[in-house]
Structure 1
Amino acid sequence: MSIPENTYDYIIVGAGSAGCVLANRLTEDGKHSVLLLETGGSDRSIFIQMPTALSIPMNTEKYAWQYETQPEPYLDNRRMHCPRGKVLGGSSSINGMVYVRGHARDFDEWQSEGATGWSYQHCLPYFRKAESWAFGGNAYRGDQGPLGVNNGNQMQNPLYRAFIEAGVQAGYLKTDDYNAAQQEGFGPMHMTVHKGRRWSTANAYLRPALQRGNLKVITHARVHRVVLENKTAVGVLFEHQGTLQTARVNREVILSAGSIGSPHLLQLSGIGNPDVLKAAGIETLHALPGVGENLQDHLEFYFQFRCLKPVSLNRKLGLWSRFLIGTRWILFKDGLGATNHFESCGFIRSKPGVEWPDLQYHFLPAAMRYDGKEAFDGDGFQLHIGHNKPRSRGHVRVTSANPHQPPEIQFNYLQHEADREGFRACVRLTREIINQPAMDAYRGDEIQPGLDVQSDEQIDAFVRRAVESAYHPSCSCKMGVDAMAVVDPETRVHGIQGLRVVDSSIFPTIPNGNLNAPTIMVAERAADLIQGKDPLAPSDAPVSMVSGWQERQRPGTAQR
């Protein structure tokens, strides 16, 4: 199929977690021409493809937008790092590769917020469609999809299993598969790694589609705005190789630029809150007050301990060890280079009266920072812990008609007292878990927060200075039908013909978990909606819910 010059059936802006999925699904029957525009370039770097090198692309300007927030008033006015993928695969090429769908109730919550057709029963078939689970398909897991998912090195380090056992000893459940019927509990963690390589959406979805004659991909293309005529999207204006070009569309423009990029592009196109647009010198072409609002993210901090046995990965951080790990990975695609090292985890509730888990653990058998540097000399381990159902809300707002000027990003982290309360629970519950007998052989001194951090005031002060983003910005173009909704349940921008948004920005609320899996699911389902296909039949697979949640914080204990 030949593609007419500068005219396409669909134009997708952003070759990220959602955009690569759409590029594949919209071209697979050969009936439609698709243009995929990406500001970044190739993802062929070893630092992207080797899972253990995950800290490098996230902190490299070539591969990620290095956004910073405005001073966050409830975090001692700290500016927070907000990297977003700027490469084929988008944030799936720079993230930690953790595969968490979220709790079933998260998607039921979406439906209750007005996203009709996005309940768990509607979403589960698309999670299954997307993945190839290393241990075979069932009512919850897929085994025929593009996205390879596994458990890395199968928890060979003894610290992983000790952490799981400590959670069970503390009165929590054990879960063999938190992405199936039961999220709540402690168990193995899953990652988007296939045959030892990062299995980004560029690898899983885009590469198989690149040979199709009806797909054109342009990298290093910066979209300036959506071109509108009479409140209809007719194309995009983009910059490539120093010149401005216009690409026209027969059917639809689809923004998949992420929770920072998509609202910013809508605003640059004259779609948004008139007051925000006027302040930036942009004419309002369509008033839509919810654009850029409702911004949410996950925060986390590192709970760090010294390790009494020489089993942690801290002894693998030297140059010679890294060389050996890298060499083995290059030759065989296995070993410590083939995992993100987050191989066990936990999902628990912060207090009685919380219906489904709102706290998440990533366990790491090392004590180090996201930039890959050691936190201290010697052996250690750490837990990444965060309160995952925040009630604080922020915004993304255009500040200039110049598309090269970054938007204002303000999360208002910890503005709501419930969020501060959730992090106090993180500190106190984690100490209970790590002090269980299963950790006795490994648990050394508490390095962070430190045993002097005990009272609410001390915990709050520690969290304000130590907490970091988990890099899950979302919800800034929320799906629904209320006055602040940006897209309808079909992912169409309210009031504009021929324009959709498909990425994590359309989540009504943030799920309890990492966002790559639900973003891919959203794109899979949106691809059917865009093509007018009947959605996959809803699943009837049951969900396991803990009884007595109104009175108990954990299943195996009295009220706490």
Structure 2
Amino acid sequence: MELDFVIVGAGSAGCAVANRLSESGRYSVVLLEAGPPDTNPWIHVPVGYFRTMGNPRTDWRYKTEPDDGIAGRSIPWPRGRVLGGSSSINGLLYVRGQPQDYDGWAQMGCIGWSWDDVLPYFKRSENWEGEDHDGLRGKDGPLSVQSSRLNRDVVDKWVEAAIAAGFPRNDDYNGAVQEGVGYFQLTMKGGRRCSSAAAYLKPAKDRQSLEILTDTQIEKLLIENNRVRGVRARINGSFQEIKARREVILCAGAIGSPQILMLSGIGDPADICPHGIDLQVELRAVGKNMQDHLQARPVFQTDLATINVETSNIFKKGLIAAQYVLTQRGPMTMAASLGTAFLKTEDHLETPDIQFHIQPFSADSPAEGPHRFSAFTASVLQLRPESTGYLTLKSRDMDEHPSIHPNYLSTDTDCRTIVKGIQIARRIASTEPLKSHVTREHAPGAGIGPDDETAILDWARETAVTIYHPTGTCRMGNNDTAVVDPRLRVRGIDGLRVADASIMPRIVSGNTNAPAIMIGEKVSDMVLEDARA
């Protein structure tokens, strides 16, 4: 098999790249996905992430190494292993980040990635159903973005309490200003998930210029004379070489892309050579600069009805299912969170440094299901952590997951910020009109005082988990600390780019699905420009 472009990974970015490169019909494109087609019905039901996370048919089920920053715990890192990638199993939350994030990238040497540079690609990707007061939203793109089809009193009262506590209201955090309190916007069309596969592949799947291969896992890149010529992949149990006349574009995510590079001999010799892999290109930054958002999850019991009690027996679940089938509304359209807030922990900060995810339910993990008591969760995370981690190979076996070291809460700033975020969560829960409906603080719990910063931090270390935003492991830049240049070409070798959340030099201030799709849109133009040159 030989085509113009080989795209590895049908996730948030990869689906966008496949659509745009095959759009004109001028180039032949193949999209390779390690996982299966997105036929599991739970993928398309918004609340289906309860069933797809942790499912080996849809989730890579990565797990970190024990991490001192979180009390020596090893925690799951779900990543989508299915057509659509993590956009098929995520919480549907659409967040671009702050303009300052992208201006910061440009100041770090990533020319062409300022806010003014990336905004057209956000707009091109988006079909926003709401108001556009600032002229910053897209209306004609393939990715459907809409407001929630579900509301709950406890979330409304949290929003009102946060405003009463002195924080500003913001009806569009993807508009001119991110700061404030409001409600999440969702990648949903009607009452169904709008994954990157639904948005970009469904309208393109019948093009003669595009071939989509699922259950196709990459063993390594094929390199000849310092140029990537294609990939070696396992398809239905047998290995096959797939050649690229022009380029290979890695869109395998912040874990998959650096792993494939290292398995192919591209990376730090200390990570590659001990496994008997021949070094092809020395790039010491591969697998480094890993950043993730760590969420602390304060839980408050309430006398208001929440999803916990609404799903407490099979009869209630049956009514919810019937409501969804008949109207495509109700709890089955629920994203991972309903309410949100982007807030500052200090008045002198230029932009928000924490984000809330307000959920009308509580659970120890999505896979375990809700608690048996009525409660809501006020999850809080630090938007721009200073802590960075890394990943390394465990072996040359493509089926063995790499060793993941997040290095959470390893700086004083990160520790102070998460403590202040938890304190703000408690402050809002103690403000009317929410206060009178909170019957008990389930976690951290009354045993930890409001000013006991040491105990609050210890609780965060013992209980905090990822909010599923790994980034940075193939960072973009213009010097030796980078893996790709600002056109996302892998340094030191021809015919290869990386385009996914791994290229972020610094994590964005918010959820990562929308920025990953933007990256896919932007690299597509770069690839087409170079192909025409």
- Name the TM tier (shorter chain): over 0.9
* Residue 470 of structure 1: how far off its partner (Å): 0.5
* Residue 271 of structure 1: how far off its partner (Å): 0.3
Superposed, which structure 2 residues align to 1:257-268 within 5 Å?
Answer: 257-268=252-263
Partner of 2:310: 316
Contact residue 71 and residue 77 of structure 1 kept, 8 A: yes
| Pair 1:225-2:252 in alignment | no
**Aligned mates of 1:272, 1:218 — CA distance in 2:** 27
**Aligned mates of 2:308, 2:233 — CA distance in 1:** 46
Contact residue 145 and residue 188 of structure 2 kept, 8 A: yes
**Aligned mates of 2:430, 2:349 — CA distance in 1:** 24
| Pair 1:142-2:138 in alignment | yes
| Pair 1:63-2:58 in alignment | yes
Counterpart of 1:152, as a letter, is: S
| Pair 1:296-2:291 in alignment | yes
Partner of 1:368: 363
| SS across alignment from 1:88 | coil
Superposed, which structure 2 residues align to 1:24-35 within 5 Å?
Answer: 24-35=19-30
Q: Say which of 434, 437, 445 aligns to 1:450.
A: 445
| Pair 1:527-2:524 in alignment | yes
Contact residue 136 and residue 142 of structure 1 kept, 8 A: no
Structure 1 range deviating more: 66-75 or 366-375 = 366-375
Cα gap change, 1:376 to 1:84, in 2 (>3 Å)? closer
Counterpart of 1:144, as a letter, is: D
Superposed, which structure 2 residues align to 1:419-458 within 5 Å?
Answer: 419-454=414-449, 455-458=452-455
Partner of 2:43: 48
| SS across alignment from 1:203 | helix
Instruction: Map Cα deviations across residues 180-224 of structure 1 (whole Å, 9 max, x no partner).
Output: 111101011111111111100010001111010011111111111
How many residues get paired?
Answer: 527
**Aligned mates of 2:476, 2:298 — CA distance in 1:** 35
* Residue 341 of structure 1: how far off its partner (Å): 5.5
Structure 1 range deviating more: 376-385 or 24-33 = 376-385
Instruction: Map Cα deviations across residues 286-343 of structure 1 (whole Å, 9 max, x no partner).
Output: 101100000010010211111123x222222232222222233234322221221622
Q: Say which of 5, 9, 12 aligns to 2:4.
A: 9
Instruction: Map Cα deviations across residues 147-186 of structure 1 (whole Å, 9 max, x no partner).
Output: 111122253x222221111111111111010001111010
The normalised TM-score by structure 2 is 0.96
| Pair 1:499-2:496 in alignment | yes
Aligned-residue CA RMSD (Å): 1.5
Instruction: Map Cα deviations across residues 424-452 of structure 1 (whole Å, 9 max, x no partner).
Output: 10121111112111213422211100122
**Aligned mates of 1:223, 1:377 — CA distance in 2:** 43
**Aligned mates of 1:162, 1:332 — CA distance in 2:** 26
Superposed, which structure 2 residues align to 1:190-205 within 5 Å?
Answer: 190-205=185-200
**Aligned mates of 2:334, 2:437 — CA distance in 1:** 22
**Aligned mates of 2:383, 2:357 — CA distance in 1:** 12
**Aligned mates of 1:39, 1:198 — CA distance in 2:** 21
**Aligned mates of 1:407, 1:305 — CA distance in 2:** 37
| SS across alignment from 1:527 | helix
Partner of 2:207: 212
Cα gap change, 1:254 to 1:59, in 2 (>3 Å)? same
Contact residue 219 and residue 231 of structure 2 kept, 8 A: yes
* Residue 375 of structure 1: how far off its partner (Å): 5.6
| Pair 1:72-2:67 in alignment | yes
| SS across alignment from 1:532 | helix
**Aligned mates of 1:341, 1:257 — CA distance in 2:** 23
Superposed, which structure 2 residues align to 1:347-496 within 5 Å?
Answer: 347-371=342-366, 373=368, 376-454=371-449, 455-496=452-493
**Aligned mates of 2:501, 2:62 — CA distance in 1:** 17
Instruction: Map Cα deviations across residues 268-287 of structure 1 (whole Å, 9 max, x no partner).
Output: 11000011111222111110
Cα gap change, 1:251 to 1:397, in 2 (>3 Å)? same
Instruction: Map Cα deviations across residues 320-370 of structure 1 (whole Å, 9 max, x no partner).
Output: 222222233234322221221622110001224322111110111122233
Cα gap change, 1:375 to 1:32, in 2 (>3 Å)? closer
| Pair 1:307-2:317 in alignment | no
Structure 2 gap segments, 5+ residues each:
none
**Aligned mates of 2:315, 2:225 — CA distance in 1:** 62
> Aligned residues: percent identity?
36
Counterpart of 2:227, as a letter, is: T
Contact residue 150 and residue 329 of structure 2 kept, 8 A: no
* Residue 58 of structure 1: how far off its partner (Å): 1.1
Structure 1 range deviating more: 275-284 or 505-514 = 275-284
Q: Say which of 139, 149, 153 aligns to 2:149.
A: 153
Contact residue 269 and residue 282 of structure 2 kept, 8 A: yes
